[in-house]
Structure 1
Amino acid sequence: MSEEATLEETPTWIVASVCSAIVLISLVFERALHRLGKALERRRVTLYEALLKLKEELMLLGFVSLLLVVFQDLIQKICIDESLMEHWLPCRGGSEASAVAHYGAASTFAAGGRRMLNGGAAFGHCSSKGKVPLLSRHALEQLHIFIFVLAITHVVFSAFTVLLGLLQMRKWMHWEKNIQQEGSSAPKMIKRVQKIKFIQDRCKGHEKVAWVIIWMRSFFKQFYGSVSNDDYVAMRLGFVMTHFRGHPKFNFYDYMIKALEKDFKRVVGIKWYYWIFVMIFLLVNITGWHSYFWISLVPLSLLLLIGTKLEHIINKLAHEVASKHAASQGEVGIVVRPSDELFWFHSPRLVLVLIHFILFQNAFEFAYFFWTLAMFGVDSCIMDRLGYSVSRIIICVIVQVLCSYSTLPLYAIVSHMGSSFKSAVFADGVADHLRGWADNARQRMRRSALGAAAEERSYWGERSRPAQLRSISF
């Protein structure tokens, strides 16, 4: 056959069989997502919202696939000068000519000298003009597969990271239960915070060392015991005393997990501007640059920076408690005081944005590796040298593990050390009730402060009045 067979030349039983298989697989997948959604809607509303976000991403992916299929003939008819194919190549040399063909050189011939059938028509259209197609059909199909692999890899690895992080935080549930069972009042909890290792360990020697050493301690702390029981107790009390004063039995663990699941909805999606990074990454994949190895260092560096910052916030909170407690000579109960000023640009949300970018870029590295391995093989020049490829994968694995077991749990608790609480994790009615409760508590505190000041003025006024009257009587 000189050309590929069309539907006019294909047996009907083949068309019906293939169509039935595709529809059946699609229906099974759709019903599975539907049942999963029903289960999550009853039990974990926040995860259900993340599933809806996942469906949106799949719909976008399907739309992109449809556009590639519809416009593939039009793209193939775009002709350019063959000299343009000699610049910005991922591969060079005769042995790598096949890889060049995958990226757009439709004039490349197969080993037997035959032109690829799926690009012949487009090549004939452009060769008559002395040019070559912008992108061959085979290259377009491979690009199509890469976009699909990237989206799926990002969703799967993001879910994997959050699930491992939740498993790592399960021990916090036991800490919360112990606090609930103890039923300690706020004054007792404050006294406990001032004596526990939270202050002793986090503030040991801070006055005697340079700030560089303090940051180095924060850097290494993220690799072992990033959040201890004492850290949890202290930060939990600071959050409760700031936002839910008078309700020391507030279940901080459940609130924190719901907030993390709510954030997962943002992480599982792919923002439109992340596709700009994809275009840049594909653009700089030039032979000899080893671009993807250097790019893989970006998420690792950002992750270490975020972990160091979050640990430093905990150290700073402990140092503030110790300083205020020492200044008051132990007469006043001091607890952790959450504040947006502890975070970069006074924005705890910025940390989540950076984590989202890290997970996406790490997913890009994994997706590109799996895609090139499947499309071109391990010996392809696009795979880069073995040392660079192995190093990239090792770095990606380190980022994935460190984010799951250290950075994500750190973010889950330290992100609540901002000035406000996340009412969105509650149902609308509960959120309104909590906001009203918090406002009333602040008003009561304000009235109490004003009342105390008025009593003090009245007291000193009464003390001074007899002297004034005596002076007037004389």
Structure 2
Amino acid sequence: MAGGGGGGSPTLLNTPTWALASCLKKHRKTALFEAVEKLKSVLMQLGFLSLLLAVIQRPISKICIPNRITNSMLPCNRVLLDSTKTIKERELASVQNSQDHCASRGMTSFMSQIGINQLNNFIFVLAVMQIVYSVVTMALGRAKMKRWKRWEDETKTIEYMAANDPNRFRFTRETTFGRRHINKFTNMIPQLWIKCFLRQFFHSVAKTDYLTLRHGFITAHLSSTNVLNFQKYIERSLEDDFKVVVGISPFMWLIVVIFLLVDVHGWNIYLWVSFLPLITVLVIGTKLETIVAQMALQLENQESVVIGSPLVQPNDSLFWFNQPQFVLTLLHYTLFINAFELAFFVWVTWQFGISSCYHEHVEIIVVRVVLALMVQVLCSYITLPLYALVTQMGSHFKSALLEEHITQAIKHWHTEVKRKKKNKLQELESPHYSVATTKITSPEIKLSDSTHEIQEISEESPKVNIVHPNESQIGVD
């Protein structure tokens, strides 16, 4: 695909568009591959909207409305708007007025062709910003969760097994998990929420939280003989959630239309909207911390003495509306609104310049940009890791768990088939043959989800009866 056939590494321009998808398929990143497909659908929506605006811009520009209506609900002050117009904008306006049939009737076009082109540019900037913002947030969040790999590796050590000896008795309050979450203030709801609100800024996910929630998840959904890499499972679950976050739903486009309609000079709507993502992220973080604390309190109420590791009970009732996925929906809309804030700032600066009437109050612009960056940091380094861990504490496991165990079972099964086939060939090549019967049994898969289990799957291969070569006969049943 690289032109010229010369040496050197190919650049991005010479890289085929299917390379990323092929790489994801090769490494079995099914969720990320579906996320790429979702990105393609978002870009297709963008192309459709651009095409639609290009088709209807002339009919829309011919819709005439009275001048008194056009002077109401303006995003900028009329005097300031006229004074900040550049020479080029005045020339374009004069040319358009000379060709505008509404001007000859003493009226104004509902939306000029220039305005429609500017709106088209804004849609493009918003879609790109939503994709970039989601990718950056997920990448930074996963980078912080890399340290969980050390905690996961520790569960395989002798020290961890000794510390969590199933024959060891301890008071619930004396465990590391109990000392972190149980004290005299946690029994009162206001103090509990205040404590959890502050905790999300300082060591939001502790090692004891990870290990305790891991133990509770495995006990609730897996048999005791299963070995699960919980950190890898969380990463795969996050990949499944990523394909939801990068999308833009029709309701989100409706929100954009509403924001543009209420952008009236003097209302400072965008200033108040910029606080909404920050408040939502802080509330989500506090709620997730509260869920962990509530599981610790439930553990103490059920049993004051624990045997081995503290065993928390995953339950949907701990989440809003008994729906753990509702947290993902809130995060999705929070990321979108924050992306809208940044996209609007970039679009206004690019389209109208830094000295336009949109930037009349510099202090408001600074506050909006700072809040957007704060939400980016909080969501990436605090809320997203908390979400990835705590939402596993629902009553049901996610599909990523089933995919992992089925993949492991098939791989093990395939290895057994190859080994037995190799042994059979060695027997055929040996001077003495014996009648053999081959039986291939898949590895045991046990996943429990409240009321159902995936039982052991086994299959017998056809029986092969081998006769001595002197008889010149091989019988296959």
Post-superposition shift, 1:181?
3.6
CA–CA distance in structure 2, aligned partners of residues 190 and 63 of structure 1: 64
Aligned to 2:471: none
Q: Secondary structure at the match of 2:18?
A: helix
Q: Is the 8 A contact 2:278 2:371 kept in 1?
A: yes
CA spacing shift, 1:42–1:333, aligned 2, 3 Å:
closer
Change (3 A) 1:159 1:440: closer
- Relative to structure 2, which stretch is displaced further, 277-286 or 29-38? 29-38
Give distance in 1, aligned partners of 2:342 and 2:264. Answer: 18
1:386 paired residue number = 362
2:120 pairs, out of 144, 149, 154, with 144
Match of 2:447 in 1: 438
Within the candidate set 34, 42, 64, 2:26 is matched to 42
TM-score calculated relative to the size of structure 2? 0.78
Mapped contact 1:110–1:116 kept (Cα < 8 A)? no
CA positional deviation for 1:354: 0.1
Q: Does 1:79 align with 2:79?
A: no
For residue 129 of structure 1, report the CA deviation from its aligned partner: 2.3
Stretch moving more, 353-362 or 367-376: 367-376
Paired position in structure 1 for 2:282: 304
Structure 1 residues 131-178: Cα deviation after superposition (integer angstroms, max 9, x where no partner): 121111211111110000000000001000000000000000111111
How do 1:69-468 and structure 2 match up within 5 A? 69-97=54-82, 114=91, 116=93, 119-120=96-97, 122-123=99-100, 125-182=101-158, 184=161, 188=165, 196-206=175-185, 210-247=188-225, 249-326=227-304, 329-330=305-306, 335-424=311-400, 426-427=402-403, 430=406, 437-439=446-448
On the 8 A contact 1:98/1:110 being kept in 2, the answer is: no
What's the % identity of the aligned pairs? 36
Q: C-alpha distance in 1, partners of 2:446/2:52? A: 51
1:31 positional shift:
5.4
Residues 283-337 of structure 1: CA deviation (Å, up to 9, x unaligned): 11110111101001111111110000000001111122223231xx456975010
Structure 1 segment 51-66 matched on structure 2, within 5 A: 51-66=36-51
> What is the letter of the counterpart of residue 35 of structure 1?
A
Residues paired across the two proteins, number:
406
Offset of residue 380 of structure 1: 1.6
Change beyond 3 A, Cα 1:122–1:180? farther
Aligned residue in 2 for 1:467:
none
Structure 2: how far apart are the matches of 1:286 and 1:196? Answer: 57
Which deviations, in whole Å up to 9, do the C-alpha atoms of 1:371-405 show, x marking residues without a partner?
11111222222234111110011111110100000
Paired residue secondary structure (2:303): helix
- Does the CA-based 8 Å contact 2:63-2:110 persist in structure 1? yes
- The Cα offsets for residues 60-115 of structure 1, whole Å up to 9 and x where unpaired, read as 1111111111221122111111111011101123231277x8xxxxxxx9589745
Normalised to the residue count of structure 1, the TM-score between the two structures is 0.79
> Amino acid of the residue matched to residue 70 of structure 1?
V
CA contact (8 A) 1:196 1:230 kept: no
Q: Is the 8 A contact 2:220 2:448 kept in 1?
A: no
For residues 40-62 of structure 1, the C-alpha deviation after alignment (integer angstroms, 9 at most, x for no partner) is 12222211111110011011111
Equivalent position amino acid for 1:365 in 2: E
Q: What is the CA–CA distance in structure 2 between the aligned matches of 1:70 and 1:381, rounded to whole Å?
A: 30
1:230 CA drift (Å): 0.6
The letter of the residue matching 1:381 is C
Q: Is the 8 A contact 1:46 1:425 kept in 2?
A: no
Equivalent residue of 2:395, what SS?
A: coil
Residues 352 and 430 (structure 1 numbering): CA distance in 2 closer, same or farther, change over 3 Å? same
- C-alpha separation in 2, matches of 1:231 and 1:225: 11
Change (3 A) 1:319 1:380: same
Aligned letter for 1:269? G
C-alpha separation between the residues in 2 aligned to 1:61 and 1:148? Answer: 7
Q: Secondary structure at the match of 1:217?
A: helix
* Root mean square deviation, CA, Å: 3.0
User: Alignment partner of 2:19: what SS?
Assistant: helix
Q: 1:310 to 1:117 in 2, by over 3 A?
A: same
Is residue 126–residue 344 contact of structure 2 (8 Å, CA) maintained in 1?
yes
How far off its partner does 1:436 sit? 6.9
Instruction: Report how far residue 216 of structure 1 moved.
Output: 0.3
What amino acid is the match of 1:134?
Answer: F
- How far 1:248 sits from its partner (Å)? 5.3
| Residue 443 to residue 270, structure 1, CA distance change in 2 (3 Å) | closer
Distance 1:29 1:98 in 2: 44
CA deviations on 1:247-306 (whole Å, 9 max, x unpaired) are 353111111110001100000001110111101111111101111010011111111100
Q: What amino acid maps onto 2:327 in structure 1?
A: V
Distance 1:428 1:168 in 2: 23
